[in-house]
Amino acid sequence: MIRRLFIANRGEIALRIIRTARRLGMTTILGVSEADRTSLPARVADEAVIVGPAPSAESYLSVDRVIAAATAAHADAIHPGYGFLSENASFARAAIKAGIVFVGPDVSSLDAMGDKLMARKIGLAAGLPVVPGGEAEDKAAARLQAAKTGYPLLLKAVSGGGGRGMKRVDRAEDLDSQIDLAMAEARAAFGDPRIYIERYIGRGRHVEVQVLGDGQHAIHLGTRDCSIQRRFQKLVEEAPAPGIPDVKHRALTDAAVRLAEHLKYRGAGTVEFLVDSETFEFYFLEMNARIQVEHPVTEAITGIDLIEQQLLIADDQPLGLTQARMSFVGHAIEVRINAEDWLRDFRPSPGRVTRADWPAGPGIRVDSHIANGGLVPAFYDSLIGKLIVAGKTRAEAVARLSDALSSLTIEGIETTAGLHRRIMADNRFISGDVDTRFFEGLARG
Amino acid sequence: MSGDIPFTSEDVEEIVTILDNTPYDRLDVRIGRFVLRVIRSGEGWSQELEWSDAGSAALAINLDVVSVEPNTTSDDQTLEIRPPLPGTFYRAPQPGAPAFVEIGDRVEPDTVIAIIETMKLMTSVSAGCSGTIEEIVAENAALVDSDSVLMRVRPDVA
C-alpha cells in the first residue's frame, strides 16, 4: 500500500498528481526548489520540502537530493511526473535501493526506452518499422552517418524527449554548429549530451498510442494526434487521432501493444509513431516510459484516470481494465498555454502573473498551477497550463475550444493563447487536415 | 500546506452549469484559504483562483538576477553586448569546450559570442557589432537579464 507519496516534480503535473493521490487517500509530499516554494502545488500538498536551489541541476534533476528528501520524508513511493528524472534509470534504481517504490516502469524498460538508440533496436526486434538513421558518437561519426542518411535530417538527444536537443539540419555545412547546440541542449535538459541522427520526414503526422501494462498484459487507450508542433514542441493534442482509416488505426494500436508486451511493460507509457499523412504508413519513433503532458485528452475520451492507473500498477495490482471493456466516447483537444511571446519568435516570458482568468464550464478542464499572483520562474519549462475540452464530436470540441479561448485572459506575462485562437480559426485545423508542417503554413500577423 | 485543495474541474463545471441558468454574472466561493471566482466572460465563463497566505511575503523569493552596472571607467568608446532575453549565460557551447570568444578576439555582427539558456532553451547571442572583445563582464553560468552587459567590444577605428 502506498501511504506517503513523494512527488518529484513541479508545476501543473505536480498539482495533477496531488489531486488523484489525495482522492486515493495518500499523503502527498512535494519536493520543490527554492524558486517554487510559494507555488500553488507547494501550498496544496500535505507536506512540502525544499530539495535544492532554483537551478534544476541542483534540485529537480539531482538524483541524490531528491532521494535524500524522499527518504527523510519517509515516503514509500515516488511519482516522477514527466520530464526531469521521470525516465532516468539511475534515479529509479536509487529509489529502489532506498526502499522506495518508483511509480513508473521497471528499470529494464527505462534502460531500453530511455536510450533512443536502444529503443530503435527493440522496436525492430518487436517487429515495428523504424525511421532510417543511426548513432553519431562524435562529429566525425555524425558526418558519416549524415552522409548515409541524407539531408534534411534530425539531430535527436539519445536521452531525449519533448523536443529538447532536437535540431533539423538541411545542409552539410550546418551540421557541426547544430551538433554543438543540440549537445548543449541535451546536456542541459537530460544530463547526457549524446545525440543520434534520423531522416527528417516532412509530410508526416505525429500519432501516439497510450498503453498500460502490468508486466503480464498490456492494453491500449487509443490514439492521440500531436502533429501541431513548433520546433518539435507540441502545441495542440487531440484524441482520437482524426481521419485515420480504421484498419490503419487498428494496426497502430496493435503495434503499440505488441511493443509493450515485448517489454513486459509495467505502468503507463506512450508509443510514438510518425504516420505518413497520405498513405498512413507508420514508423515507430520512441516510447515514453512515463505520463505525458497530453494525457488528459485520453482521460477525456476513456473516463480513465491515468495517474490512478500508474499508482495502482506501482502498488503491484494487476490491470483491472481489459481491452474488450474499454470504450471510447467523443473527442478531446488540449492546447498548451506557454509563457512565451509567440509574436516575437516565441521568446520566453517568465515573470509574475497578475491575473489568471481560465475558461470554465461544461466539457472544459484546466490543468494549471498558475492562479492570480502566480510566479513563472525562468529556470524551468514555459508551460503554465493546459486547456482541455471535450465534445461529442470533433466539430463540437473545436467549437467549444474556440469559445473557451475567448474567455481566457492571462495578464502580467505573454502567452501562446493568441496563437491557439489563430490555430482554431485555421481551416486545415477545423477540417482535421494537420501534419507536422501545419505551423509553417499558419497565417501570421 | 494544509490539506485544502482548490476545486476540481468537475466542481467548476457544476458551479458554471448552475450559474448559467441564473441572471448572475459572478460568484465567489471560498474554501479554506482559496477563493474561486467564476465570471461570465466572452462566449462562456472563466475562473480565477486566489489564495490568502499570511506568510507569503516572508516566503517571497528573489530571482537573484545579476545586473551589471555599466562600467564607469569605460571611456565610452566601447560597445556593450546585452542578452536578447533573461537567462543563464554560457561562454562555451558545452562544459569543457573552448569559449566562443576570448578577450582580444575579432567579432563581426553575426559572430556567436555566447549562449543564453532560458526555460531550457538555448539561444545563441551574436555580437551585433564589429570590433575586438575588450572585456568579458558577466561570469560564466551567471543569471543575466536585458540590463546586464555580457561583454564590451572595442569598435574598429573608422
pLDDT confidence of residue B69: 36
User: One digit per residue, pLDDT tens: chain A, 445 residues?
Assistant: 899 999 999 999 999 999 999 999 999 999 999 999 999 999 999 999 999 999 898 999 999 999 999 999 999 999 999 999 999 999 999 999 999 999 999 999 999 887 888 888 899 999 999 988 888 888 888 889 999 988 999 999 888 766 677 889 999 999 998 898 888 888 877 778 888 999 888 779 999 999 999 999 999 999 999 999 988 789 999 999 999 999 999 999 999 999 999 999 999 999 999 999 888 999 999 999 999 999 999 999 999 999 999 999 999 999 999 999 999 999 999 999 999 999 988 989 999 999 999 999 999 999 999 999 999 998 999 999 999 999 999 999 999 999 999 999 999 999 999 999 999 999 999 999 899 889 888 865 4
pLDDT confidence of residue B70: 36
DSSP A52: E
CA A19, CA A55: separation in Å to the nearest integer? 26
CA A266, CA A216: separation in Å to the nearest integer? 8
CA B23, CA A90: separation in Å to the nearest integer? 57
Residues of B in contact with A19 (CB under 8 A): 5, 8
Domain with CATH 3.30.1490.20 in chain A: 132-199
The verdict on whether omega for the bond into residue B23 sits within 30 degrees of 0, i.e. cis, is: no
Sheet holding A204-214, edge to edge: A282-288, A266-276, A204-214, A218-230, A233-239, A331-338, A383-391, A364-368
Which one of A166, A365, A379 makes the best mutation probe of the B interface by having the most chain B beta carbons within 10 Å?
Answer: A379
Alpha carbon separation from A411 to A364, A380, B132 (Å, rounded): 21, 20, 42
Strand stretches in A279-345, DSSP E: 282-288, 331-338, 340-341
Answer yes or no: is pLDDT of B3 > 90.
no
Q: What kind of fold does domain A132-199 have according to CATH? A: Dna Ligase; domain 1 (3.30.1490)
The maximal CA–CA distance of chain B, rounded, in angstroms, is 75
Q: Minimal Cα distance from B42: which residue of A? A: A407
Quickly state the pLDDT bin for B119 (edges 50, 70, 90): confident
Residues of A in contact with B38 (CB under 8 A): 360
Give CATH superfamily name and number for A204-441.
ATP-grasp fold, B domain (3.30.470.20)
Active-site choice (A290, A336, A365, A394): A290
CA B142, CA B120: separation in Å to the nearest integer? 15
Does the structure's ipTM exceed the value 0.85? no
Sheet holding A27-33, edge to edge: A47-52, A27-33, A4-7, A77-79, A101-102
- pLDDT tens for each residue of A142-171: 889 999 988 999 999 888 766 677 889 999
Query: Is A290 marked active-site?
Result: yes
Q: Do B47 and A372 touch (CB under 8 A)?
A: no
When CB atoms are compared, the residue of B5, B16, B143 closest to A360 is B16
pLDDT confidence of residue B103: 94
Q: Do A362 and B93 touch (CB under 8 A)?
A: no
CB A442 within 8 A of CB A422: yes
Q: What kind of fold does domain B79-155 have according to CATH? A: OB fold (Dihydrolipoamide Acetyltransferase, E2P) (2.40.50)
pLDDT confidence of residue B110: 86
pLDDT confidence of residue A359: 96
Instruction: Provide the β-strand partners of residue A228.
Output: A236
Q: Do B120 and A183 touch (CB under 8 A)?
A: no
Q: pTM for this one?
A: 0.84
pLDDT confidence of residue B71: 39
Q: What does the domain layout of chain B look like in residue ranges?
A: 9-54, 79-155
Q: Do A360 and B119 touch (CB under 8 A)?
A: no
- pLDDT tens for each residue of B28-61: 988 878 889 999 987 789 999 988 764 343 333 3
CA distance A114 to chain B (A): 19
Q: What kind of fold does domain A4-103 have according to CATH? A: Rossmann fold (3.40.50)
CA A344, CA A363: separation in Å to the nearest integer? 32
Show the 3-state SS of A360-372: ECCCEEEEECCCC
Answer yes or no: is pLDDT of B85 > 90.
no
When CB atoms are compared, the residue of B59, B87, B115 closest to A184 is B115
Q: Minimal Cα distance from B10: which residue of A? A: A365
Residues of B in contact with A366 (CB under 8 A): 9, 12, 47
